[in-house]
Amino acid sequence: MEKIVSLCKRRGFIFQSSEIYGGLNGLWDYGPLGVELKRNLKNYWWRVMVHERDDVVGMDGSILMNRAVWKASGHEETFSDPMVDCRSCKARLRADQVIDKKGVRQCPNCGGKDLTEPRAFNLMFKTYVGATEDESSMTYLRPETAQAIFVQFKTVLEVSRKKLPFGIAQVGKAFRNEINPRNFTFRSREFEQMELEYFCRAEEGMRLLDYWLKERLKFYERIGISRGKLHVREVPEEERAFYSKANYDIEYDFPFGLQELEGVAYRTDYDLSQHQKASGKSLEYFDEETKQKFIPHVVEPSAGVDRTVLALICEAYAEDQAPDEKGKMETRVVLRFHPRMAPIKCGIFPLLKNNAQLVEKAKEIVDLLRPHMYVFYDESGAIGRRYRRQDEIGTPFGVTVDFETLGEKDATLRNTVTLRDRDSMKQRRVAIGELAGTLLADIT
């Protein structure tokens, strides 16, 4: 993890938030490469979950909502972790982190035995809307995106004219005042979720839960996370919310252990029923064939953007051996991102920066590829060093404009370039006119 965290900072993937002021625990900023990786992931999720399907539409709800939403959903009452304070070192600990030595509770920080009884600590961030700061103007930053979908269920149903089963997808920020943010971005206080609420008839719930589990596992493979590193955990009844009929966690084998990436949960009709009861507005579905009215059930695949980005980086990180300028083998750090996810798709290099023709041709290629993908032009340093810099940030392809491109050595090679593959380091010649098509076949 240390190597990964340091690479993320050095090459502009992820930085500590407010770093020049000493940071703020559990909050992170994504730099120029991190933001590309994150966007590639969110866009691909949207493509697979919304655009490639007839039965899902999207929405983008507000982060602040009427406090009544959080009362009805149960978050105000129960979205809390039991906490214990250590009176010796003043640490606030999650109750499940307290050490139990033969029935004696001990602080994992200082070993102290003077601990308070567990107390509920709500994880939602409070805020005030408008000029007055009192109970009547209070609400919370949303701790999940899902509730916006439930409260807009009827409106989206009407405007989209969908029939059951159908889903509403959303990607957006969520906030939780986690007691112990840790493992880099894994447990943060501000993060993004990619959630689908898939509404169905009660009798279809269990089948659709398994269907979505399979779909989501396929998704991870399609972004380059190997199946062998994923683990499906069936959440036992005692860990599930009382309304949940079944729940899978998709876990990833992080360097710090097997940890949850996504939950695929069968939430029954709990959320819609709660909001119907609390708001007094009907959230029922009318089945035109059977003329029945009922509250649909829901299956929810809910994934974390930041956790998946972290998994992508962990999965991609590799060290291997590659020859340096003089042919001597050296250790190469390489991020083997799937080309779909890679922040930069192609590096473009004139062999020599002081040759006007090579530079001009390379810039023509930049203009040719730019409408299709994010590319990076680099003319500084030896070509081997330029390749290494791109390997380290996971750029899957490198294009070098050399004297063959100008047709100086062999007229048949005019307007061809060297195309280098990041992982195999193999090079082949490709006609400039075929470059965009060749690269697009791998990155889309």
Q: Which chain residues interact with ligand GAP by CB under 6 A?
A: 144, 146, 176, 178, 187-188, 191, 193, 195, 260-263, 300, 302-304, 306-307
Task: Kindly state the smallest distance separating residue 282's Cβ from ligand GAP, in Å.
Answer: 23
Please give the torsion angle defined by the CA atoms of residues 40, 51, 203 and 247, in that order, rounded to the nearest 10 degrees: 0
Nearer to ligand GAP, 85 or 178 (CB): 178
User: CA 322, 325, 330, 334 torsion: positive or negative?
Assistant: negative
Task: Kindly state the smallest distance separating residue 6's Cβ from ligand GAP, in Å.
Answer: 21
Nearer to ligand GAP, 308 or 400 (CB): 308
Nearer to ligand GAP, 83 or 440 (CB): 83
Residue in the shown chain whose Cβ atom is closest to ligand GAP:
304
Contacts (Cβ under 8 Å, ≥6 apart) of 327: none
Work out the burial of residue 288: count CB atoms within 10 Å of its CB; fewer than 13 is exposed, 13-18 middle, 19 or more buried: exposed
Nearer to ligand GAP, 239 or 423 (CB): 239
Contacts (Cβ under 8 Å, ≥6 apart) of 219: 45, 48
Nearer to ligand GAP, 304 or 350 (CB): 304
Nearer to ligand GAP, 49 or 393 (CB): 49
Task: Kindly state the smallest distance separating residue 92's Cβ from ligand GAP, in Å.
Answer: 16
Cα distance between residue 87 and residue 96, in whole Å: 17
Q: Are strands 99-101 and 104-106 parallel, antiparallel or unpaired?
A: antiparallel
Q: Residue 243: left if φ>0, alpha if ψ -120 to 50, beta else—which one?
A: alpha
Task: Kindly state the smallest distance separating residue 160's Cβ from ligand GAP, in Å.
Answer: 21
Cα distance between residue 303 and residue 301, in whole Å: 7
3-state secondary structure of 115: strand
Nearer to ligand GAP, 162 or 307 (CB): 307
Tokens of 199: 């509404």
Closest listed residue to residue 295, CA positions, set 238, 243, 236: 243
* Lookup result for tokens 């730019």: 370
Task: Kindly state the smallest distance separating residue 195's Cβ from ligand GAP, in Å.
Answer: 6
Cα distance between residue 60 and residue 56, in whole Å: 14
Query: What type of residue is 80?
Result: S
Task: Kindly state the smallest distance separating residue 216's Cβ from ligand GAP, in Å.
Answer: 11
Tokens of 269: 């009709």
Nearer to ligand GAP, 40 or 308 (CB): 308
Q: 40, 341 in Cβ contact below 8 A?
A: yes
Closest listed residue to residue 292, CA positions, set 304, 284, 300: 284
User: CA 436, 438, 443, 444 torsion: positive or negative?
Assistant: positive
Q: Residue 443: left if φ>0, alpha if ψ -120 to 50, beta else—which one?
A: alpha
Task: Kindly state the smallest distance separating residue 127's Cβ from ligand GAP, in Å.
Answer: 18
Task: Kindly state the smallest distance separating residue 363's Cβ from ligand GAP, in Å.
Answer: 41
Nearer to ligand GAP, 269 or 306 (CB): 306
* Lookup result for tokens 């990436």: 261
Task: Kindly state the smallest distance separating residue 144's Cβ from ligand GAP, in Å.
Answer: 4
Task: Kindly state the smallest distance separating residue 246's Cβ from ligand GAP, in Å.
Answer: 14
Nearer to ligand GAP, 283 or 303 (CB): 303
